Amino acid sequence: MNLISIPAFQDNYIWVLVDDDRRCVIVDPGESAPVLHAIKENGWKPEAVLLTHHHNDHTGGVPELRAHFPHLVVYGPAETQDKGTTQVVQEGENIHIREWEFSVFATPGHTLGHLCFYSKPYLFCGDTLFSGGCGRLFEGTPAQMYQSLQKINALPDETFVCCAHEYTLGNMKFAVSLLPEDRAIQDYYHKVKELRAKNQKTLPVILKNERQINLFLRTDDIDLINKIKKYQQDYDLHFSNIIEQLNYIEHEQKQNNNSKLDLERFSIYIKILISQINSNKENLQSKIKEPSRSLELTSTKEQFENIKTVIDSTNEEIKKHKCLRIPVSKFPDFWNLLILSVF
């Protein structure tokens, strides 16, 4: 039995399992051309297609492959029914294709219906787990992704993790930035850099090794927990300074009878922002106390933009009048100066 990866698009891999009779199973064919080329060049005989989720870069080649090979059985989650799936499968099922047996388990997070297929020692995990990272949350929640990664982490050490994208270098840059003194992460990062400099693949990876370098499989790691504690401290200090200055502005403008600042809106946005920041602080603290807990922080971007809009509007009103420029170095980068009326 041979495991082969076919590059597609910019960074996709289409995985193919081929037996001694050249019968093959194709996983996540995002486009058909490279697969058809490989089939012709190697004399393969396609038996089935496995789809992990509904995104087009994993399913786009199915119609053309089925046009060439009408007998193909296409297995996939319910969310791929309009992508060419002929047999919907779900967690707990086993798929038998010639000598292969694939166990199916649900890994929601990247998409709600995402599935993984495991045929010892091969795991086809789509966009759930990458080397050094995990998939983006387009539909699922952090809690769902955490549970999905735990399922993968429970597989045998010798599992070959067949990810669908060559994201390893970017993921390892992120890991090194968080834990720069971690020897395993540093060594793997340099290895990946050398491979990618030569345009060589980093996949598949062995799960045993991935457990050492993938932060998303190390949620109970003390170094990572300490890093989160440091992040919490920095978060508290940064936002405390911001809130202090915003409260100062609010107080000063309330004392100013000629203020052109929309104090009602300004005060509401500050209250919402403070509520979001406090919620994030609580979530960070919970993560420290319970490392296995998923971490989901509320974005404060919208409230900062709302506050900025109010201030910008005020600035437009007072440009023709006497102004005071207040440097706000501890604010986000988009606020270099605040201009407020001092009448």
Task: Tell me the catalytic residues.
Answer: 53, 55, 57-58, 110, 127, 165
- Alpha carbon distance, N-terminus to C-terminus of the chain: 81
- Provide the edge-to-edge strand list for the sheet that holds 12-18: 2-8, 12-18, 23-27, 45-50, 73-76, 87-88
Phi and psi based region of residue 98 (left: phi greater than 0; alpha: psi -120 to 50; beta: remaining): left
Q: Which phi and psi (to 5°) does residue 128 adopt?
A: -85, -55
Question: Cβ distance 22 to 44 under 8 Å?
Answer: yes
Calpha distance 24→41 (Å, rounded): 14
What are the contacts of 252-255 at 24+ separation with CB within 8 A? 252/340, 253/340
Calpha distance 281→297 (Å, rounded): 9
Question: Cβ distance 302 to 288 under 8 Å?
Answer: no
Q: What is the torsion angle, in degrees rounded to the nearest 10, for the CA atoms of residue 170, residue 173, residue 174 and residue 175?
A: 120
* Residue 337, both tokens: 């100066």
Calpha distance 157→295 (Å, rounded): 26
Q: How far is CA 49 from CA 6, 86, 119, 170, in A?
A: 14, 10, 14, 29
Q: How does DSSP classify residue 120? A: T
In 3-state terms, what secondary structure has residue 266? helix
